[in-house]
Amino acid sequence: MANRSLAARLYSGQVSYDFVGRRKLWYLLSGVIVLVAIFGLGTKGLNLGLDFKGGSQFQVKTNASVADGRAAARDAGIEDAVVTKVGTDKLQWRTTTLESSEIASVTATLANTFKVAEAEVATETVGPTWGKEITSKATQGLVVFLILVSLFLSLYFQWQMALAAIFALAHDLVITVGIYALSGFEVTPATVIGVLTILGFSLYDTVVVFDKVRENTAGITKSSKMTYSEAANLALNQTLVRSINTSIIAVLPVASILVIGVGFLGAGTLKDLALALFVGTLAGTYSSIFVATPFLAQIRERNPQMRALAKRVAARRAADDGREPGLETDLPTDSGTTIPVRQVGERAQPKRNIPRSKR
Amino acid sequence: MASPSSAYRPGRVLTYFTLLMVFLAGWTFLGGVSVFSKDGWKDIGAHSTPKLGLDLRGGTQIILTPKATTGAPVSAENVKQAVEIIRQRVNAFGVAEAEVQVQGTGTSSTIIVSIPGKANSAVVDAVKSTAKLNFRPVLQEAAPLEFKPKDPKSTEEVHGIFPPIMSATNDAAFKAKFDQLDCTSKGALVGGVPDDPKLYIATCDKESRQRLILAPSRVEGTNIADASAGVDSQSNAIYQVFLDFDATGRTQFAAVTTELAKKTGVENRMAIVLDGLVVSSPSVNEAIIGGKAQITGNFTLQEAQNLASVLKYGALPVSLDVASQSQLSPTLGNDQLKGGLLAGIIGLIVVVGYLLVYYRALGVIAFASLVVAAIMTYFSIVILGQQIGLALTLAGVAGLVVAIGITADSFVVYFERLRDEVREGKGLRGAATSGWVRARRTILVADGVSLLAAVVLYFLSVGSVRGFAFTLGLTTVLDVFVAFAFTRPLVELAVRNKWFQSGGKLTGLDAAHLGISNRAATPALQES
């Protein structure tokens, strides 16, 4: 089975993919997705929930139909209410912002109609300015977080790594928001929290890869064995199994919340959180492999020292190839590759003491 | 500080860890242990289950945003005063476990009122209305009536009419009610019911418990420009409260003091009424024309400051907007809780399943670590619920489920590092140690970023959603702890085991799966 053998090869570390070298392809792919997301955001906009728009909402656990719900709305004096079925066993009414006396009378009518206690009628009323307030809080949170993370990463790694990580983060955010716009999923405070959490997730993944990149590139300019891009790509491959495992493990619980939230409970905190996390985690995994590291390699390669290193490596390879041509690769050579990358899997791993003569 | 494996004693670390878990378990489950808190000594361990948030147990939640009514921005002091007033009002309804919290600071602060149980629109209305302070001439005063159960052992409460009693006229019916006014029994003086300034009221003095009949309001608290406590400039010894009125207040205050100064006895006094209760009723010595009044009395500094702060309530330059008001159904909340727990169990099972398939015996260690982390999280949430009133909301439950992935990832980082080390030709015992030294840094940095995100989310989110950030942060910290104090020593112990060292297929460390076949003597069989 093809799947099985690929998994086994990844597991054993015998396969090495050229992520960094093919960055133009990934950039193109990401660029298209990001453009679609921005297009969706620009044309369709976000479907904002009650907390952002203001209004009153009622929920009752009942198996009654939407038509019954409409009749009840007429009785309760909220003819303009939008009635929807939520989950498998709930009805929901949404209308303009009501006063507390009106809320009490609607609650009483609904409780009476559907034979439940008044305390069982869930109501939510949101004033018109609340949305602006939570939006500004979320924006504030985003800015504070980005500043702190940039500082943290710049101190721990290098500023280039901070830049690349933030770049990947922006990529994930735009994609997630775009998916919300295109799909018309409702945006609630829980969604916002979910999206902000993605920031943490996406970075977490990137940090683990970058930690390995840093390890592989420490003192790299002192030798002529490999270029920065190659070392970064090696780090990616070495952490690939972990990246995939991490993502699977992170997505599994999120998916189980999503299934329960959408399948049984309908709209609510669980679904809203899980959906944002689900989309964001997948985007985060993609970006830490295909966007963050290639982008990092690209900006690091602009450094004169790294350019000099690339030249030395090329010169040395040319000399080596003159003696022993024909390097085997696990992947077909990509003509679009701008930097020569040797895809020799684990043989390119550092600290392996292979006698020089065997190379 | 890469400690050599000989110096590292996994058994000892595990022993300490076990002791800590036993301690936490005891703290969580055992009753009869008392701790000193702000409410005096209280039993802990009374609730060995997490405290649930309103969205899971049902109740009313009101989110209020303070808005400046004057040009000046909302200060932390204003918000504190507003919260104090709201707390008093909620307590006035005798709702158990009601909570008033502030999130954020200054202009961006929000006040969250959580009232568990059945909805009560009167409570909601009381919370929403602003504090009412007014000045009323005293008409009549009487000693407090005693309301006590006939049988002293009875817990049944006997009481009269709680203040304030309001009436449009000072007539016989009003007087009859005044004779039933209760200023002594428990619950009589919680206050919090705003009085209508246009009506006569019968109410109590909070301190002396005297019963008073008061005329309609003559000056409203909103006309107070400032109030402060200080010492008398002449005697330099007596504490006083200084009052300053605005233009309207100055005129009104001049009129009423001119009237009262001419009277004698009880009718010479003017009551300061806050939310229906008398906080002070000083005599009027002379007409106060300039708008600057002093209240003298047998005050301590503390009393003078308290009165000044009460008077400032009337000048509170904020109004409270109801940003959101929700009535949460206990049934729907229970459904959501069940859903969240079910999602957690399913999530745990699939993650553990994946870890077992992938990491085999190491997966068992990961499984044990996850379970230990889950138990520790449970204890922490129960203890935090007891100690600081942390309530688990639905978003918090979601945070816990999501945290399964983050926690498990620390083990993945360690195991992958361990396997890298073995791949590079290290022996299993050496690999366990050097792999840890390398993984440790990655785990700390990655969890550091997660924690940073959680902290930022916590401080910038509002309401029940905040619980998500809290549990995410909590589990991140516990994850680091479990990885250091449980997973690592367990792996160290395991790799000393002969079976593990044999590198059998089930260990998850066999040559074929690590891809070290080209180095090993026998080329391993590719599984396909």
Nearest to A61 by CA among A270, A265, A273, A261: A265
A185: helix, strand or coil: coil
Distance in Å, alpha carbon of B210 to nearest chain A alpha carbon: 36
The pLDDT value recorded for residue A322 is 65
Instruction: With CB atoms and an 8 Å threshold, state whether B445 touches A104.
Output: no
What's the pLDDT score for residue B351? Answer: 92
> Which chain A residues have a beta carbon less than 8 Å from that of B119?
107, 118-119
Identify the pLDDT of residue A344. 44
Identify whether residues A216 and A151 lie together within a single domain: yes
Average pLDDT of the residues of chain A: 80
> How many of the other CB atoms lie within 10 Å of CB of A328?
9
Tell me the pLDDT tens digit for each residue of B345-359.
999 999 999 999 888
Which whole-number Å values give the CA distances from B317 to A67, B67, B73, B222, in the listed order? 48, 8, 9, 8
- Calculate the dihedral angle through the C-alpha atoms of B391, B395, B399, B401, rounding to the nearest 10 degrees: 100
Beta-carbon separation of B449 and A239 below 8 A? no
| SS3 per residue for B271-296 | EEEECCEEEECCECCCCCCCCEEEEE
Cross-chain residue pair A256–B347, CB shorter than 8 Å: yes
CA–CA separation, B335 vs A120, rounded Å?
12
B444, B450, B456, B471: best to mutate for the A interface, most A CBs within 10 A: B456
Q: Is A218 on the interface with B (CB under 8 A)?
A: no
pLDDT category of residue B480 using cuts at 50, 70 and 90: very high
Nearest CA in chain B to A6: B528
Per-residue pLDDT, averaged over A62-69, amounts to 89
So what's the pLDDT on residue B190? 64
Closest CA to A55 of A173, A188, A158, A157: A188
pLDDT above 60: residue B40: no
pLDDT at residue B463 above 50?
Answer: yes
In the structure, how many helices (H) and strands (E) does chain A have? Answer: 13, 6
The CATH number given to whatever domain includes residue A112 is: 3.30.70
Q: A-B interface: how many C-beta pairs under 8 angstroms?
A: 270
Asked whether residue A122 falls in the same domain as residue A157, the answer is: no
Write out the DSSP string of B356-383. Answer: HHHHHHHHHHHHHHHHHHHHHHHHHHHH
Percentage of chain B lying above the pLDDT 90 cut: 16
* Residue A182 included in any domain: yes
Instruction: State mean pLDDT over B87-93.
Output: 70
Ramachandran angles phi, psi of B190, nearest 5°: -75, -25
Question: Are A17 and A237 in contact, with CB atoms under 8 Å apart?
Answer: yes
**Of A211, A252, A349, Cβ closest to residue B445:** A211
Longest Cα–Cα distance in chain A: 91
CB within 8 Å: B343 and A268: no
- Residues in chain B with CB shorter than 8 Å from the CB of A119 are 58, 117-119, 327, 329-330
Cis check: omega of the bond before B164, within 30 degrees of 0: yes
Domain holding A38, by residue range, is 15-47+131-323
Q: What pLDDT is attached to residue B399?
A: 87
Which among A130, A144, A253 has the least Cβ separation from residue B405?
A: A253
Residue A2 is predicted with a pLDDT of 38
Tokens 């073995």 belong to: B422
Q: Is residue A238 part of a domain?
A: yes
CATH code for the domain of A235: 1.20.1640.10
* Whether A117 and A256 share a structural domain: no
Highest-scoring range by mean pLDDT, A62-76, B148-162, B221-235, B316-330: A62-76
User: Which residue among A120, A259, A274 places its CB closest to the CB of B329?
Assistant: A120
Residue among A130, A190, A254 whose CB faces B395 most closely: A190
Rounded distance between C-alpha atoms, residue B367 and residue B351, angstroms: 9
| Range of lowest pLDDT (A131-140, B405-414, B474-483) | A131-140
How many other C-beta atoms are found inside a 10 Å radius of the C-beta of residue B319?
Answer: 15
The more confident residue out of A331 and A12 is A12
Mean pLDDT of chain B: 80
A144 shares a domain with A245: yes
Single out the residue in A126, A158, A174 at which a domain terminates. A126
Domain count, chain A: 2
CB B374 within 8 A of CB B475: no
Quickly state the pLDDT bin for B490 (edges 50, 70, 90).
very high
Instruction: Give the per-residue pLDDT at B376.
Output: 94
CB contact under 8 A, A211 and B527: no
DSSP 3-state assignment of A186?
A: strand
Cβ–Cβ contact A214 with B under 8 A: no
Q: Are A132 and A260 in contact (CB under 8 A)?
A: no
Which chain B positions have a beta carbon within 8 Å of A211's beta carbon? 441-442, 445-446
- Which tokens in the block code for residue B56? 């899971």
| Residue B69 confidence (pLDDT) above 90 | no
Residue A212 included in any domain: yes
Q: Does A299 score more than 50 pLDDT?
A: yes
Residues from chain A contacting residue B452 (CB–CB below 8 Å)? 145, 148-149, 152, 200
Cβ distance A269 to B465 less than 8 Å, yes or no, reads yes
- Measure the CA angle with vertex B511, ends B505 and B513; round to 5°: 70
Phi, psi of B99 (to 5 degrees): -130, 140
Of all residues in chain A, the one with the smallest CA distance to B339 is: A260
User: How many other β-carbons are positioned within 10 Å of the β-carbon of residue B212?
Assistant: 28
The H-assigned helical ranges of A94-227 are: 100-113, 130-156, 159-183, 189-217
Confidence bin at B243 (pLDDT 50/70/90):
confident
Mean pLDDT across B160-172: 83
Whether this model's pTM surpasses 0.90: no
Q: A26, A296 in Cβ contact below 8 A?
A: no
- Is residue A31 located within the same domain as residue A88? no
- What is the rounded average pLDDT of the residues B182-187? 75
pLDDT at residue B420 tops 70: yes
Residues A156 and A202 in one domain: yes
Q: How many whole angstroms separate alpha carbon B499 and alpha carbon B506?
A: 10
Flag whether residue A346 sits within 8 Å of chain B, measured between CB atoms.
Answer: yes
Which chain B residue is nearest to residue A62, measuring alpha carbons? Answer: B332
Q: What's the pLDDT score for residue B476?
A: 93
Determine the average pLDDT of the residues in B213-240: 81
Chain A segment 162-181 residues within 8 A of B by beta carbon are: none
B51 pLDDT higher than 90: no
Contact A119 B327 (CB under 8 A): yes
- Is residue A349 domain-resident? no
Of B404, B424, B514, the CB nearest to A351: B424
What residues in B contact A147, CB-CB < 8 Å?
Answer: none
Q: Give residue A32's pLDDT.
A: 94
- B35: phi > 0 → left, psi -120 to 50 → alpha, else beta; which? beta
Residue B450 tokens, joined = 């997660």
Is the pLDDT at B46 greater than 70? The verdict is: no
Is the domain of A104 the same as that of A223?
no
pLDDT at B333 over 60: yes
Contact A8 B121 (CB under 8 A): no
Answer yes or no: do A26 and A145 share one domain: yes
Regarding whether A209 and A164 lie in a shared domain, the answer is yes
Residues A248 and A246: their CA atoms lie apart, in Å, by: 6
Q: For residue A2, what is the nearest residue in chain B, using CA coordinates?
A: B528
User: Looking at the structure, do residues A70 and A35 belong to the same domain, yes or no?
Assistant: no
Q: Does A135 touch chain B (CB under 8 A)?
A: no
Band the pLDDT of A30: cuts 50, 70, 90. Answer: very high
CA B226 to chain centre: 31
- Whether residues A100 and B460 touch (CB distance < 8 A) is answered with no
pLDDT at A330: 40
Cβ atoms B503, B524 nearer than 8 A: no
A198 and A315 fall within a common domain: yes
Point out the residue among B326, B336, B405 whose CB comes nearest to the CB of A123.
B326
Least confident of A10-24, B325-339, B343-357: A10-24
User: Which own/partner pairs from B422-429 qualify as long-range (CB within 8 Å, at least 24 positions apart)?
Assistant: B422/B509, B422/B514, B422/B516, B423/A13, B423/A346, B423/B514, B423/B515, B423/B516, B424/A349, B424/A351, B424/A352, B425/B516, B425/B519, B428/B495, B428/B500, B428/B501, B428/B503, B428/B509, B429/B5, B429/B492, B429/B495, B429/B496
B343 and A260: CB-CB below 8 Å? Answer: yes
| Phi, psi torsion values for B521, nearest 5 degrees | -65, -45
**Helix %, strand %, coil % for chain A, to 5?**
70, 10, 25
Determine what percent of chain B is predicted with pLDDT higher than 70: 80
Per-residue pLDDT averaged across B98-114, rounded?
A: 78
Q: Render pLDDT for A271-282 as a digit per residue (tens, 0 to 9).
A: 888 888 888 888
A350: in domain: no
Q: Is B326 in contact with A136 (Cβ distance < 8 A)? A: no
Please indicate, yes or no, if residue A160 is contained in any of the structural domains.
yes
Q: Give the model's confidence band at B43: pLDDT under 50 very low, under 70 low, under 90 confident, else very high.
A: low
* A20, A89: one domain: no
What's the pLDDT band for B150 if we cut at 50, 70, 90?
A: low
pLDDT of residue A3 exceeding 70: no
- Among A350, A213, A191, A173, which residue's Cα sits nearest to residue A295? A213
Question: For residue B273, what are the β-bridge partners?
Answer: B134, B278
Q: Is A217 inside a domain boundary?
A: yes
Q: Is the pLDDT of residue B428 over 80?
A: yes
Closest Cα to residue A273, out of A287, A260, A288?
A260
Distance CA B98, CA B82 (A): 16
- Please, what are the domains in chain B? 10-47+329-514 (1.20.1640.10), 54-129+321-325 (3.30.70.3400), 133-312 (3.30.1360.200)
Among chain A residues, the shortest Cα distance to B528 is held by: A5
Cα(A146)–Cα(A135) distance, integer angstroms: 17
- Greatest Cα pair distance, chain B, in angstroms, is 114
For A76-117, how does the pLDDT look when each residue is reduced to its tens digit (9 = 90+)? 888 888 998 887 788 999 999 888 778 888 988 999 999 888
Residues 6 or more apart from B403 whose CB is under 8 A from it?
B377, B471, B472, B475, B476, B479
Asked whether residue A340 is assigned to any structural domain, the reply reads no
Q: Does A132 touch chain B (CB under 8 A)?
A: no
Per-residue pLDDT of A219-263, as tens digits, reads: 888 888 888 988 888 888 888 877 888 888 888 999 998 888 887
- Tokens standing for residue A139: 């924006």
